[in-house]
Structure 1
Amino acid sequence: MALALSAPNTPQSPALFPALAGLLVIGWSSGFVGIRYTNEQASVALLLFWRTLLSGLIMLPFALAIGPRLKLGAVASQMGFGVMAVFIYLGGFALAIEQRVPTGLVALIADLVPLAIAAMSQPLLGERLSRRQWLGTAIAVSGVLIVSFDSLSFGAAPLWAYGVTIGAMLVFAWASVLRRGRESLNMPVHQSLCIHSLTGAVLFGACALAQGGLAPPLTREFAIGMAWLVLIATFAAYSVYYTMLRLFPVAKVSAAIYLSPPVTMLWAWALFSEPLTAAMFSGLAVTLLGVWLTVRN
């Protein structure tokens, strides 16, 4: 849906893009950091249940009152995408953070979705990639491997947790490729995001019940974490993201999102004392080079 948007040919202040990009990077990276912060108070299933439930309920009146009438078939299609986009994708990297995979690495892998979509488009949709794009994808993946192998030396997370992050990213990319051309998935953002959130709430709620219950911790830290995740990581981040898609080219907006992993690494270092190493920044630089080769033009 985002790829269908185009930037208008209207004059813009030179300071507009840097200002919005800064807000986007802060909002986008705050999602990873917010999960890491709130996970100190509750399990991943419980915190994601409350995050998606609150987000969905806040958007529900607007989804019902504004936009086209919601039909059962369209809602069912959005629910199916919500399983992959929220429950598997969001739940996958949240689980990895819970297992203490470095937060910056999780952000780096999660933000490689556009590269995975480009790689899957050729076999699934017949969209041919250039040699430069394949080279860029390979370089970006090698950068992720550099960061991954360096973080393995910390010894805090099991090996399977790294695989969960990669698997969740690939599932979301696969779902994004399959949704192309499906009219039932083309609806206003506030409606689709509401359906995705409530679908995730049902599934995360079932997981939280199996682990003990749905009652939230009555602590100030949990309340702060929820406000952080709902208001900043969900509403603010997506609002800025879709505003930028209407004002600037898609590739330019994507380039801003790729700045979120280093910001996430800095947040995690400052707030949770997660280590920063030269190899992590080297791998990040290699990944950004690969991303640039893939998305330019």
Structure 2
Amino acid sequence: MTIGESVGVAERPRTEGARRLAEAATPGTFVVLWSSAFIAGVIGLGAAPPLLLTLCRFALAGMLLAAVALVTRAPWPRGRALGHVVVAGLLLQAVQFGAFYTAMSLGVTGAVAALVQGLHPVLTALLAVPLLGERVSRRQAMGFALGAAGVVLAVAERISSVGGGVLLCVAGLLGLSFGTLYQKRFCPGMDLRSGQAVQLLASVPFIGVLTTTLEHPAVTAWGPFAGAVLWLALVNSIGAFTLLYLLLRRSQASRASSLFFLTPSVTALMAWALLGQPLSALTVAGLAVSGAGVALATRTVRPAPVAAARSAS
């Protein structure tokens, strides 16, 4: 063995270890980044109307990703693939965030919006059976039940503030769930640079028409508005969605979606730490129960050594 070969052999365990560490950290990182969108949304909505905030988020993130795709010469979707990418983007971006942020502007708290969104794993699991042919095991079903219970516990004391905005939250939930399944089925090999750029930029005219017809687009505080747009565009539209698409590629849609059970509790924790909103014992209990549900729903069951040995022989 030459010196170069020995160095290559030594580097393989390090590379493999780094890859496994990155994969293990991806779910937790995704939950934190995704939950932060509600906090940034609260700050941004104090400075501008919801659809204007959403429009600027999409435009900035879309242009940045388009520039990255052009510089790195990423392949762009064409023909039928382009149409599928656009449809998934309108559902995941325009419908979801346009509805959720409008609901929050009507008085729905970030925690309650996260509560409705936290039901995404149950809806996705139910829809994935007929649409994607996925199977839900008894263990996963128990995990979904625990996760849903944790979601309710996390924000049980704040449900009274929902009001009529709950219908918009449900619309956002449907956009997220149907968009996730559509992305999983029709856009599995989408380039994450060019594909996300197309999805975001396709949502810009849709939201633009709505904000000019339904709102009086004006910014009342440029500092908070600019900070919220930058965070939502860079951290959420680019960072969190990239992690979501990676998770969808690695596992079933229902399993990846189970992480959304954690977002209501994590959002409540962030609101307590950053916005001074009170943190109750029910929120802490909800975090624990949701975590147990996610662990149960996403745990990979390995075959017993005896069974593995028999199958190998």
The TM-score bracket by the shorter chain reads 0.7 to 0.9
Distance in 2 (CA, whole Å) between partners of 1:192 and 1:244 is 13
> Structure 1, unaligned stretches of length 5 or more?
1-7
2:137 aligned with 1:137, yes or no? no
1:159-193: CA deviations, max 9, x gaps?
x32343244223322233244443x6632011121
Distance in 2 (CA, whole Å) between partners of 1:178 and 1:188 is 16
1:194-219: CA deviations, max 9, x gaps?
11111222122111101345554562
Match of 2:229 in 1: 226
Could you tell me which amino acid in structure 1 is paired with residue 298 of structure 2?
V
> How much does 1:34 deviate?
0.8
1:1-47: CA deviations, max 9, x gaps?
xxxxxxx9812399767876665444322211111100000111110
1:102-130: CA deviations, max 9, x gaps?
32343354355344322222233333322
Percent identity over paired residues: 26
> How much does 1:221 deviate?
1.8
Distance in 2 (CA, whole Å) between partners of 1:236 and 1:60 is 15
> How much does 1:222 deviate?
1.3
Distance in 1 (CA, whole Å) between partners of 2:105 and 2:215 is 17
Match of 1:200 in 2: 203
What is the correspondence of 1:74-153 to structure 2 with a 5 Å cutoff? 74-153=81-160
Could you tell me which amino acid in structure 1 is paired with residue 42 of structure 2?
R
1:200-246: CA deviations, max 9, x gaps?
2212211110134555456222112222222222334445x279859
Q: Secondary structure at the match of 1:121?
A: helix
> How much does 1:50 deviate?
0.7
What is the correspondence of 1:255-266 to structure 2 with a 5 Å cutoff? 259-266=262-269
Shift in alpha-carbon separation, 1:127–1:212, aligned structure 2, 3 A: closer
Distance in 1 (CA, whole Å) between partners of 2:75 and 2:122 is 32
2:169 aligned with 1:165, yes or no? yes
CA contact (8 A) 1:74 1:185 kept: no
Match of 1:3 in 2: none
CA contact (8 A) 2:155 2:282 kept: no
Could you tell me which amino acid in structure 2 is paired with residue 192 of structure 1?
G
Bigger relative contact order (CA 8 A; separation at least 6): 1
Q: Secondary structure at the match of 2:80?
A: helix
Shift in alpha-carbon separation, 1:15–1:72, aligned structure 2, 3 A: closer
Distance in 2 (CA, whole Å) between partners of 1:126 and 1:255 is 17
CA RMSD of aligned residues (A): 3.5
Distance in 2 (CA, whole Å) between partners of 1:286 and 1:75 is 40
Q: Secondary structure at the match of 1:143?
A: helix
Shift in alpha-carbon separation, 1:208–1:171, aligned structure 2, 3 A: closer
Distance in 1 (CA, whole Å) between partners of 2:151 and 2:260 is 16
More helix as a share of residues: 2
Match of 1:293 in 2: 296
TM-score by length of 2: 0.75
2:48 aligned with 1:42, yes or no? yes
Distance in 2 (CA, whole Å) between partners of 1:40 and 1:75 is 36
1:60-88: CA deviations, max 9, x gaps?
23334522244243222211111210111
> Structure 2, unaligned stretches of length 5 or more?
1-13, 301-313
Rg: which structure is higher? 2
2:13 aligned with 1:10, yes or no? no
2:61 aligned with 1:58, yes or no? no
Shift in alpha-carbon separation, 1:83–1:212, aligned structure 2, 3 A: same
